[in-house]
Structure 1
């Protein structure tokens, strides 16, 4: 039954088909002459409109009489009132019933405005409002356009496939949530677009048994805010790192201290477990600072050449992890490189961290340059007047600094003690000038023998000391035998071929964290040197540490 038929039936049940005086509603009866012949107690306004020939009201009566079926019409805004009118033909006249809809209409209008306002507020507060069914297929979405797409094209499609077309949906997938929850900074990558980050707020809809039948939610693009926050954090980290390294540039007294401080700052800021600061010398690459609790042997040459095609910081593949590194140059001249390492299976290097390292490349270059200058000035100011090697004081300070450094790196070096045999005979036979010539020739051989990371010094008189960084005792012994082979040339140069001038050498390898005193290490090397002198001179001997295992022959 139609709404109109229901209304007519309801009116007749009230007795409206008889006299209208007792009717509770609003009604008038019109006779064949178009005059009101009866009206209800509440029909004053309606009767007045009929008498004023209100067009809608008269047209409705005419239509009902002509068609002989009930008709209805809306009358709005007349005398500040809204009516729903129904005209029912009765013989030559008709019954006109009016229902005052002013209040319901205003309520409906307010609700419609509220709904429109709510939608407007929702659309401005979030980028997308959605509902997905139990299978995560989208069945409602607003607005009609979002993230550059017409959202009507998403209806019926799987939400996860839309937001993660490469199949890399996160473990905490908002569309799969079984409880009301908020998901902050969820990475998504819509088809053909760059990655963006969304904030999701979801509310599952459950049936009486507790099963999820749908999920409603909203999402808002927070990419700009996230990137701004990351940039602010990045700028803060870069500023702090620059400040720490710059402070070290101004306060460090030695090249080692400067590079250790810079490496320590990098290790802390980049959450690394190892940092190498490597200097590029003409002779090769030499680590001058290794900071961290983990030691790994690196193929420095391979890493260095891997930077040939890179501008700025880059990630270098290692045996079981990837390293972050940067090569430093000044005015076209290679200074060195910094290599930073951590467990990249747990925490891979990010683009932001590469940018951070690029951002401090300038101050790292300054640190390398100053470290090189400090080292050069220290060597110049600490030279022995005759030979140009380090003097005894500088030698002791340098070796003890290296021994302390080895506590962190777990590397070891060798202290080599050299004593010239029968040197007094040179002075007594050929004079002190010949003796000085011999000392300078030995010093020159030693200087040519060492690498940039090694140190050579005159201990006193005809005694010399070498510090060979990161070298085993056996290799050090082989290296210094060339000095024994050179002694005949020294004798020939001073015109003393018949003299017994030679050299005896003792080698002692340091133990990281145990040997920290130059004097104690020198005494060990000196002791084994005198064993050489006691057994005939002109040879090299290696001091045995307490941890060495002695294998007795059967």
Structure 2
């Protein structure tokens, strides 16, 4: 039975069939086609390689050939090539729909298997005492679960007796608990629990059953995202502070306040490491009053690895990070809170380590500002602070004390019979005496205290967080040193001495340098009137 009505590029007629076919003669000329063969015609005329290869194989072997076809339109066909009178028939059967259904079935089965595999890692049932009655599968979280039967579930999931307050194994209502921290076989994981109680006919809970799955990867990915976002936010805010603040004290205060908010801290110390003064607490921010031995903390970190260290003192935990720039110690940041209530988390430690660079930049700028400020604020003769710098420094301390409720003492010093030195030994000896007084003042104060020259033979000390008695001890040390100064300038026969007035600040009341200085000066004047070379104390503000 002939398949053709005719040859010579006539349409191929197949007995009442819509078969897709073409015929190519031995000269490779397309001479016939069916009504539905447009796609085959196009592929042959375009010289589709698979068609040409199949034609050559059929021509040589005179055996039928078959191959798969998938074009760019995602149409899939099964092509059969049959030899005929020196040429070849190409017959196509479209399999697009069947293939798509097969692929969808395979994909859905894979998705279902993945869903079932990931839905539950561990199923269980515990008795009212929390002991495992049933566990499945045989291996979960890398451990053989058979040995868990009869064991307290808490001892398996939290061997260090650190189970959460709301345990999934003791729930009395149906509950879903996500991101529960566990430590099975010493490995920290996060699990998601779905649990429900088993209730008997009398309404009594006889067991708790449920399932859990390991969600560690998801929790850690979310945790990393939160850390990255928080770190970026803190870096941006501290960088903004860094770029917009020109005062070193405000810069460190604002950066410390940012750390208090982000780290949920009670106190933050920003400690600068200076060449001459050593460790200086440039900023102390927070609501609590706590003293730290900064030198001991610094020494305890000597030789330790870089990064964040936790130091516990009494009931408080301190996170400490030393800052370094170009191989030079810049200082350290100490962050403190009551860790018996809220221990430091790994996330918080990582955050502090991640923002170390921007903190180092802030400290570096603060040191540079401080250095430039000192160059413009020093008394030329003594290297003490000049009057302007002394006023600014004291008023910054007074502002800080209004928050801490701690008092400091202003010590006003006026040299007695100084004119006698100039008149007897000359102005060079007078300058030497001034410098010797300045050196002694520097030797009796701490890095956190201030020393300045008001002009001529008048000096002032600001002694941080001390009472009048402590300030008086330091003042008496200066008075007792005056005979030594007379000897050093070859004026032992002279009467050079010092009259001193001491004024204790009142937190939240004394905020202006000039007001406090006037009270100290009034006390000093009382000494001058009653014999000189002695100490007097200023009264309270209302008395003054």
- Give the direction of change, closer, same or farther, for the CA distance of 1:529–1:220 in structure 2 (3 Å limit): same
Contact 1:245 1:262 in 2 (8 A): yes
Q: CA deviation at 1:344?
A: 1.1
Q: 1:195 aligns with which of 184, 188, 191?
A: 188
SS at match of 1:291: strand
Structure 2 CA distance, aligned partners of 1:452 and 1:168? 45
Alignment gaps of 5+ in structure 1 = 1-115, 549-554
Match of 1:236 in 2: 229
- Give the direction of change, closer, same or farther, for the CA distance of 1:189–1:514 in structure 2 (3 Å limit): same
Query: How many pairs were matched up?
Result: 434
- Give CA-to-partner distance per residue, 1:86-136, whole Å, 9 cap, x none: xxxxxxxxxxxxxxxxxxxxxxxxxxxxxx998885434222344456665
Q: 2:259 aligns with which of 266, 271, 288?
A: 266
- Give the direction of change, closer, same or farther, for the CA distance of 1:527–1:196 in structure 2 (3 Å limit): same
Match of 1:291 in 2: 285
Q: CA deviation at 1:273?
A: 1.1
Q: 2:119 aligns with which of 104, 122, 125?
A: 125
What are the residue-to-residue correspondences of 1:164-183 with 2, within 5 Å? 164-183=158-177
Contact 1:505 1:539 in 2 (8 A): yes
Contact 1:290 1:408 in 2 (8 A): no
Structure 1 CA distance, aligned partners of 2:111 and 2:389? 82
Match of 2:511 in 1: 516
Match of 2:249 in 1: 256
TM (norm. structure 2) is 0.71
Q: CA deviation at 1:204?
A: 3.0
262-271 or 387-396, larger mean C-alpha shift: 387-396
1:304 aligns with 2:298: yes
What are the residue-to-residue correspondences of 1:135-214 with 2, within 5 Å? 138=132, 141-151=135-145, 159-190=153-184, 192-214=185-207
Match of 2:447 in 1: 452
Q: CA deviation at 1:521?
A: 0.9
Q: CA deviation at 1:256?
A: 1.5
Q: Which has the larger radius of gyration?
A: 1
Q: 1:221 aligns with which of 177, 196, 214?
A: 214
Q: CA deviation at 1:184?
A: 1.5
- Give the direction of change, closer, same or farther, for the CA distance of 1:121–1:134 in structure 2 (3 Å limit): farther
Match of 2:338 in 1: 343
Q: 1:364 aligns with which of 359, 371, 382?
A: 359
Contact 2:414 2:499 in 1 (8 A): yes
Structure 1 CA distance, aligned partners of 2:204 and 2:388? 82
Q: 1:535 aligns with which of 519, 524, 530?
A: 530
Structure 2 CA distance, aligned partners of 1:132 and 1:488? 87
- Give CA-to-partner distance per residue, 1:341-372, whole Å, 9 cap, x none: 21211101122222222222222233333322
Structure 2 CA distance, aligned partners of 1:117 and 1:425? 101
- Give the direction of change, closer, same or farther, for the CA distance of 1:208–1:396 in structure 2 (3 Å limit): same
Match of 1:112 in 2: none
366-375 or 344-353, larger mean C-alpha shift: 366-375
Contact 2:182 2:191 in 1 (8 A): yes
- Give CA-to-partner distance per residue, 1:159-201, whole Å, 9 cap, x none: 44443445544342323322211112222222x3412111111
Contact 1:321 1:344 in 2 (8 A): yes
Contact 2:316 2:339 in 1 (8 A): yes
Structure 2 CA distance, aligned partners of 1:288 and 1:245? 17
- Give CA-to-partner distance per residue, 1:38-57, whole Å, 9 cap, x none: xxxxxxxxxxxxxxxxxxxx
- Give the direction of change, closer, same or farther, for the CA distance of 1:393–1:163 in structure 2 (3 Å limit): closer
1:442 aligns with 2:437: yes
- Give the direction of change, closer, same or farther, for the CA distance of 1:496–1:272 in structure 2 (3 Å limit): same
How well do the aligned residues superpose, as a CA RMSD in angstroms?
A: 3.2
Structure 2 CA distance, aligned partners of 1:338 and 1:195? 30
Alignment gaps of 5+ in structure 2 = 1-109
Structure 1 CA distance, aligned partners of 2:480 and 2:116? 90
What are the residue-to-residue correspondences of 1:53-132 with 2, within 5 Å? 121-132=115-126
Match of 1:355 in 2: 350
Contact 2:118 2:213 in 1 (8 A): no
407-416 or 137-146, larger mean C-alpha shift: 137-146
Contact 1:123 1:143 in 2 (8 A): no
Match of 1:102 in 2: none
- Give CA-to-partner distance per residue, 1:455-503, whole Å, 9 cap, x none: 2222133222122223332222222334334444555566655544332
- Give CA-to-partner distance per residue, 1:128-160, whole Å, 9 cap, x none: 344456665555554454322455665666544
- Give the direction of change, closer, same or farther, for the CA distance of 1:433–1:160 in structure 2 (3 Å limit): closer
SS at match of 1:261: helix
Q: CA deviation at 1:454?
A: 2.4
Structure 1 CA distance, aligned partners of 2:133 and 2:478? 87
